[in-house]
Every structure is written in C-alpha cells, then in structure tokens.
Amino acid sequence: MKRLDDFRLRLGRHELVPIVIGGMGVDISSADLALEAARLGGIGHISDAMIKTVSDRRYKTKYVKAKQAMYQYNVASIDKSAVKFDLGDLAEATRLHVEHTMARKTGSGLVFINCMEKLTMNAPKETLAIRLGAALDAGIDGITLAAGLHLGSFALIEQHPRFRDAKLGVIVSSLRALQLFLKKNARLNRLPDYVVVEGPLAGGHLGFGMDWAEHDLATIVAEIRRYLVQEQLDIPLIPAGGIFTGSDAVRFMEAGAAAVQVATRFTVTRECGLPDEIKQEYFKADADDIEVNQISPTGYPMRMIKASPGIGDGIRPNCEAYGYLLDANGKCAYITAWNREVAAHPGAKRVSVPDKTCLCTHMRNFAIWTCGQNAWRLKDTSLKRADGSWQLLGTEHVFNDYRFSTDERIALPEPEAAAT
Ligand SMILES: Cc1cc2nc3c(=O)[nH]c(=O)nc-3n(C[C@H](O)[C@H](O)[C@H](O)COP(=O)(O)O)c2cc1C
C-alpha cells in the first residue's frame, strides 16, 4: 500500500515532498503556515492579496491609513475611478512581506506567493507588474498565478532577471484554459514550471460556473495529462480541491500527478492566519452549512460557510482604504449593488445587499469564511475539548498525516493537557 511519501516532486534541482499548501488570501495562508510546509520539505504559499493591509497588521506600516486619508474626499462619491494605488507603496509592501517570510525560511522546501489576477486594483496591468516584480526582487522561490486567466502575466516579467530561474506556475480548471495560456505565451519560450489543476471542490473562487457539481477533478486532470503527453510537454501536474486524506492524494499520484495542492485541512491549524474563534466555525460547519454562491464581485462563484457575517451585509464600499477589486474603470459589482439598495431605501441607516459582498472589507476582517467542500469533515480530524470546542492542530501534524497515512485514515492529535 503506497503512501504519499513514496513519491517525490521534482522541480528543477529541487526534490520535494509532494505536498503543496495552497495560497489562501487574505493572510490565511500566513507566513508561519508556509514556512512550516517548507521546513517539512514541501511547498507553502503566502498570498499577495491585500498586501498593504497585511503589511500594516504584520509589520506596523501605515499604508491603509495613508491611502484612506488621501482619498477621504471621495468617500461619498459613487465614482471610484480616482482611487489609485501608489505603485511605490505596493512594491514596498510586497517586498516587506516576502523578505520577512524568506528571511525565516528553513528546511529543503520552497515558499511561493499566490497572485490573483482578479485583484485588478483600478489599474490591472500596472499593479500586477509591480506585484510580480517586487515578489521576485524580494527573493520568493516561486509565483503561482491564480484567479484569472493570466494570459499576459509572464510577459509582464519577461525582462526580470529571475524570469527563467524562479518557479512560475499557473492554476487552471480546464484543458482549454491551459491551452489558451500556452498559446498566448508560446513566443516567450518559457513554459510554466508546474500547473495546478483546481477542481470544483476547492475553497476560494472557483474556475467553474454554477454547474460546478457536474465537473470532476480526476477527469480534468486525466484530460490535461493526455494532452501534455500528446504534445510532449513535461510539466508537473498538481491537482487541487477536495483531497482530504493521504489516500486521496495517492490515488492522484498513481494517476500521474506530480504533487497535490491542499488547503482546507490547514485552516484549523495553529499556524493558519484565521483568528482562533473562526477556526472553530470551520470545525462546526456541517455539509449543509456550506454553499457555493455568486456574491463575490469578481464574477466567479465562491464557496463559503453560510453563517459568514459578510453574506448579505450592506457596509459602505470601502474602496478609498482598499479598492482591490476596482476594475480598470474604477467599478466594482458591489458598489453597483450597494447603490441600488441605498436608492431603494432612502433614509435607511444601513442597507442589506443580498446579491454581492464587499469582498475587500470582509476578507480583510475574516468575515467571509471561504472553505473547500470537505470542510464539514474537519471535525473528524481533531478532538473535542470538554467545553465543546475543538483542539487546533499543528501544521506538522496535518502535513505528516497527508504524507504517511494509508487506508483513508486520518490521524488524530495527542489530547491537549487539561488547562489548570
Ligand atoms: C480559506 C481558503 C482561502 C483560499 N484563498 C485562495 C486564494 O486567495 N487564491 C487561490 O488561488 N486559491 C485560494 N484557495 C484555494 C486553495 O489554494 C486550494 O487550491 C484549494 O482550496 C484546495 O482544495 P481543498 O481546500 O479542498 O484542499 C483558498 C482556499 C481556502 C480553503
């Protein structure tokens, strides 16, 4: 009976334990979580989502306050096109986060950064180029291009001295998306170093429509694999979404995967960036407490726990402080929905917006609890305390459970010493 540890992921000169902890914005896949994965010989991700507020929280900078003060005059306006990101600050915040993380790295594994194209930031190309370039400058081992097609992202950094030596990967949810990426980037003579194939059971945004349940990760991986073999392209494939046990992972490895990307099981670890009380909400969730909805202004369906306080909330759009989802014309679907509700309820102190959410504010405040479809099984991975709460897990414990378990088993943690 094989274990995940019987396999290795080869990326250039690196030989890695084939476990990738996926990026989870905003700072849910914290530096501590990513560094544990690297220490244990796998790959961890930090995320560059809302990096300025992450930097303020972690490194005591004041980027958000400064931006808010600069655009205070615009708060009451529905036109947010004036609200721009200072590109120098953006580069500095990215550098801070990456440098602080990489300075603490130990072990033989790698730390990558997850970069979501859908954070269009009122200047999609300019801000993306800065984010990618600054992460490379600051010594990140690799970049995973996520949420969006990223057809032009390689070109944005083709002049960077690390363009050919840093590991660069893409996340796709279909063969067609990968084909488009490869076609668009053919002239650069630089293939992705790995392809994460994210299926319909993943957390975060989905690369599917509301018909997600009709798709199946194993089928998509097999289709992409056949295509790569046929084209004689040797690119490691990394399936993601719903891989909950070491045995699930081994099935993918035996079908030709190079590694697996996992996330949900790490949301209840001590190193995960979610506040501890919210980790308890993840433990508590039952299968029918989890939904895929369309409230994200990105336009992509997103999976979340129905009790997330950000669902249906009608907070005033906070673009002057954040504004990560403003498109190239300074628009965001939440602003449109919020204005509609305000117009429909004149004089109301606070409106409710059922169909969209202010994702920046709520992800920043951990008020949208996104999770994978299997989050309801998290309670099977830990022990209940006498007060009804669940024990948090060590990242090392969960990592090693994926690595060494067989027969669909999930190793439980040692019971905590009772508090005195
Ligand atoms: C809380 C949470 C936040 C996530 N945020 C992101 C993100 O910011 N960018 C991204 O590309 N994927 C994100 N994901 C997807 C994961 O990186 C990963 O590919 C997927 O969840 C793996 O499936 P699993 O959670 O069933 O193991 C997120 C997942 C979770 C659970």
Ligand 1 atom with the smallest distance to the CA of 371 is 31
Q: How far is the CA of 204 from the centre of ligand 1 (A)?
A: 5
| In the predicted structure, residue 414 carries a pLDDT above the cut 80 | yes
Ligand 1 within 6 A of CB of 23: yes
Q: Is the dihedral of CA 80, 24, 300, 220 positive or negative?
A: positive
| In the predicted structure, residue 85 carries a pLDDT above the cut 70 | yes
Cα 230 to Cα 183: distance, rounded to the nearest angstrom: 16
Average pLDDT, the chain: 97
| 100 in Cβ contact with 338 (< 8 Å) | no
What's the pLDDT score for residue 191?
97
Ligand 1 atom with the smallest distance to the CA of 201 is 26
Ligand 1 within 6 A of CB of 398: no
Mean pLDDT value across residues 111-116? 98
| 260 in Cβ contact with 253 (< 8 Å) | yes
Which DSSP category does 367 fall into? -
Ligand 1, atom 6: closest residue by C-alpha: 24
Sheet strands (E) in 273-395: 290-293, 302-305
| 256 in Cβ contact with 226 (< 8 Å) | no
Ligand 1, atom 2: closest residue by C-alpha: 24
Ligand 1 within 6 A of CB of 263: yes
- 């097999």: which residue's tokens? 222
- Under the banding of pLDDT at 50, 70 and 90, the label for residue 419 is low
- Out of 113, 119, 145, 264, mutate this one to test ligand 1's pocket (max ligand atoms within 8 Å of CB): namely 264
Q: How far is the CA of 32 from the centre of ligand 1 (A)?
A: 17
Cβ neighbours, 10 Å, residue 386: 7
| In the predicted structure, residue 53 carries a pLDDT above the cut 80 | yes
- Under the banding of pLDDT at 50, 70 and 90, the label for residue 224 is very high
| In the predicted structure, residue 418 carries a pLDDT above the cut 80 | no
Ligand 1 within 6 A of CB of 192: no
Q: How far is the CA of 409 from the centre of ligand 1 (A)?
A: 23
Exposure string over 188-210, b if 16+ CB within 10 A, otherwise e:
eeebbbbbbbbbbbbbbbbbbee
Cα 419 to Cα 193: distance, rounded to the nearest angstrom: 48
Ligand 1 within 6 A of CB of 204: yes
What's the pLDDT score for residue 92?
98
What's the pLDDT score for residue 417?
79
pLDDT tens readout for residues 226-280? 999 999 999 999 999 999 999 999 999 999 999 999 999 999 999 999 999 999 9
Q: What is the pTM of this model?
A: 0.98
Cα 123 to Cα 170: distance, rounded to the nearest angstrom: 21
Q: How far is the CA of 193 from the centre of ligand 1 (A)?
A: 20
pLDDT tens readout for residues 341-393? 999 999 999 999 999 999 999 999 999 999 999 999 999 999 999 999 999 99
Q: How far is the CA of 241 from the centre of ligand 1 (A)?
A: 8
Ligand 1 within 6 A of CB of 53: no
Percent of the chain residues topping a pLDDT of 90: 98
Which DSSP category does 320 fall into? T
- Under the banding of pLDDT at 50, 70 and 90, the label for residue 284 is very high
Of 378, 405, 414, 411, nearest to 19 by C-alpha is: 405
End-to-end CA distance of the chain: 43
Which DSSP category does 410 fall into? -
- Out of 19, 20, 24, mutate this one to test ligand 1's pocket (max ligand atoms within 8 Å of CB): namely 24
- Under the banding of pLDDT at 50, 70 and 90, the label for residue 147 is confident
Percent of the chain residues topping a pLDDT of 70: 99
- Under the banding of pLDDT at 50, 70 and 90, the label for residue 65 is very high
Half-sphere exposure at residue 269, Cβ-oriented, CA atoms within 13 angstroms: 26
